[in-house]
Amino acid sequence: MRAEPPGAQHEWLDAAAGPVVRPYTLTGGRVRPAVDGFDLVAFVLAGAGADPSGQSGLQPEHRRLVELARRPVAVADLAADLDLAVGVVRVLLGDLLTRGLVSVHEPPAAGIPDNDILKAVVSGLRAL
Amino acid sequence: MDYVRSDRGSSEPRLPLALKILIAGGFGAGKTTLVSALSEVRPLQTEEVLTGAGVGTDDLSGVETKSTTTVAMDFGRITINEDLQVYLFGTPGQDRFWFLWDELAFGALGAVVLADTRRLADCFPSIDYFEQRGVPFVVGVNCFDGSRRFGIEAVRQALDIDPDVPVVLCDARDRQSAKLVLISLVEHVARQRGEPVPVA
């Protein structure tokens, strides 16, 4: 129990910031995933026979992530689909990864894609 | 981390390659509008969490009691083919969210900096950021109704950018116009790696 409000207003907390939230309740207060990675455009794929239902300690959100990842799906799309902050989704995905329920496929770390890919992007954009 | 690649010959689903393009620029320069014009899906929103305790420190004890807020990032998607997708990420507008840009910029193909000639200086921080990080970018001059029309050269001079950086006029609301900005970016990226400009 606090006797007084917590300190000075944080500089982030102004009209442009979102509401003050406690998004990490879902992760039991953990703000870092068990493993690093999970780029916004990394693809997540559930294992062929992944069945989260029998696993204890998983939230409904974990199970939804596995269901959504039956087909390859990007981390950013998962966060939008679940309407959860990316940081929260990363923690949940870390749990699933350590249990072997999903695999994560990071995009190539650096370097410009080869010319065939750039060509395909240009022609795909022209067709829009 | 599991880096297992899909075996194209098996029944495993094929994993597409996703390219990231950042859409930057000052507040109100038309970032969300451009993402909406190009995205095949309604622009989605994702949120990144800001915590007072979590930044730059490993001591996270008691972090759940700290004030936390979120910042929304708009993103959209363009499917080029079944193996290739382009994700457009609108960058958070406020300067204090710069640290989120590092994550967005990591591995990005390049960036579009949208400029509003009524408030040209608003896009300076974005240009500085991409120049310093070596992220290829183009400047899209968003021609709003009623905004003064400047010549491309006048804008280039005012922005003091490298002569190689493309500056293109655009209407961020118009898909055909917006796609030309992205095409100029991809061509710019191809030129930077010393390859001939891809001809579609």
pLDDT attached to residue A14: 65
| Chain A positions in Cβ-Cβ contact with residue B81 (cut-off 8 Å) | 120, 124
Of A25, A43, A118, which has the smallest distance from its Cβ to B186's Cβ?
A118
Look up tokens 């067709």; give the residue.
A127
Q: Whole-angstrom Cα distance, residue B66 to residue B77? A: 34
Which residue on chain A is closest to B198 by alpha carbon? Answer: A119
CA distances from B98 to A120, B105, B118, B125, B156 (A): 31, 11, 23, 10, 24
Nearest CA-CA distance, residue A54 and chain B, Å? 23
- The pLDDT-based confidence of B104 (bands split at 50, 70, 90) is confident
C-alpha dist (Å) from residue A90 to A15, A37, A64, A87, B94: 27, 8, 14, 5, 24
What the block records as the tokens of B190 is 């191809």
Q: For residue range A91-105, what is the model confidence (pLDDT) as tens digits?
A: 999 999 999 999 999
More confident residue, A109 or A126: A126
Q: Give the DSSP letter of residue A8.
A: S
Contact A115 B190 (CB under 8 A): yes
Instruction: Report the chain B residue with the minimal C-alpha distance to residue A78.
Output: B46
Least Cα distance to B190 among A39, A42, A120 occurs for A120
Confidence check: pLDDT of B5 > 60: no
| Class of residue B114 by CB neighbours under 10 A (exposed 0-12, middle 13-18, buried 19+) | buried
Q: Which residues in chain A have Cβ-Cβ distances shorter than 8 Å to B6? A: 45, 105
Cβ under 8 Å to A: B residues 86-115: 86-87, 89, 93-94, 96, 103-104, 106-107, 109
Tell me which residue of B184, B178, B172 sits closest to B143, measured CA to CA. Answer: B172
Q: How many Cβ contacts (< 8 angstroms) between chains A and B?
A: 189
The rounded distance, in Å, linking the Cα atoms of B165 and A44 is 35
Q: What is the pTM of this model?
A: 0.82
B58 has a pLDDT exceeding 50: no
Interchain CB contact of B147 with A (< 8 Å): no
Contacts of B132 (CB under 8 A, 6+ apart): none
Task: Give per-residue pLDDT as tens, B121-160.
Answer: 989 999 999 999 999 999 999 987 656 677 888 999 999 9
Predicted confidence at residue B145, as pLDDT, reads 66
Q: Is the ipTM of this complex over 0.90?
A: no
Are B75 and A76 in contact (CB < 8 Å)? yes
Residues of A in contact with B94 (CB under 8 A): 16
**Nearest chain A residue to B103, by CA:** A39
Q: Among A105, A112, A100, which residue's Cα sits nearest to residue A49?
A: A100
Are B47 and A20 inside 8 Å of each other by CB? no
